[in-house]
Amino acid sequence: MVPTSPDPAFKCRLSHCAGGGGSGGGNSDRKKVRTNVKFRHWLKSKDWKLLQVSKGAMADMVVAISAVPENSLQRYVIYVKTGVYKKYVEVSNSKSNIMIIGDSIDVTIISGNRNYVDGWTMVSSATFGVLGQGFIAGDMTFENTTGPQKYQVVAFRSSSDHSVIYRCAIRGYQDTLFSLSLCQFCRESQIIGTVDFIFGGGTVVFQKCQILVRKAESDVTNPTYLGRPWKKNSRMIIMESYLSDAIRLEGWLEWKRSLYLDILFYAEYMNNEPGADLGGRVKWPGYHIIKDSAQVKQFTVARFISGDTWLPSTGVKYKDDLAI
């Protein structure tokens, strides 16, 4: 898919719903407005300053993605005020180092309903898609509101290298979060879906996140597994996590009988009950119960995504090693 430019109405709609600032074309109104935005302690000071406008007033508008400089080496911060914005956003490869910040989860929401049944591909169904490297999102929600009856309904798609999702919610049904490729980090966020709702070829660490399974229908709870090998060389490790009793005893599900079961790498390490009981787990060649911490250090933030080399510059909290 060739990335498309954001809908021009995105800027206008967000600015209008934000309740101030007009189209963002001039400075005269911007100098007069102030907001009561609380200081986001996780922002580095230089990034917080980018949210300020002349004479110390706080930004009171949203800038369209299309206005971001091409291939920027500096952080470009976009503040999205409280509201539900029913638009589709595509951050192209040339738009790097964008930081988009809302007022909080459940308050700033970007919402869509594209889906497979209505003619969208899995890639193009995404409400929010990002390719440009160094992307950061904080304190907001991305959602696809299409129900479970229309198959693939991506809420957030990322192939942004060295990107971060922090204190966000990503909500959908099937295929909610599509980590398409490259290196990503997700912290203190909530991912909600039904089937295969975190997937893709990206190298990602989820730390202090909630991963929640919806009921497929109002009165039916899905049988819940930790994962299944949708493609070759599937790799996933669940470590130092709380697993609820919604998890099936076997833990993992085959994709098509024995396909890929000998070339996957699935593992569990030091998880908490009640869903962490290992007694009834699958007996696949590629499944491992790990007891030695030395074996899982390769999956920590420091080593798996080389987080110590790039996460400090984002200002986002992270733990580079094991919790224990």
Of 196, 277, 308, 320, the active-site residue reads 196
Strand ranges of the sheet holding 235-239, from the earlier edge strand across to the other edge? 235-239, 265-269, 287-289
Strands 215-217 and 198-199, sheet pairing: unpaired
**Helix, strand, coil distribution of the chain in percent, nearest 5:** 15, 25, 60
Active site residue 106: no
Q: Does residue 287 contact residue 266 with C-beta atoms inside 8 Å?
A: yes
Strand ranges of the sheet holding 128-130, from the earlier edge strand across to the other edge? 89-91, 128-130, 156-158, 177-179, 198-199
* Cα-Cα-Cα-Cα dihedral sign, residues 315, 316, 322, 324: positive
Between the alpha carbon of residue 245 and those of residues 14, 28, 214, 248, 274, the distances in Å are 41, 57, 14, 8, 5
DSSP alpha helices (H): ranges in 206-313? 293-296, 301-304
**DSSP, res 132:** S
**Angle, alpha carbons 179-43-95 (nearest 5°):** 45
Active site residues: 196
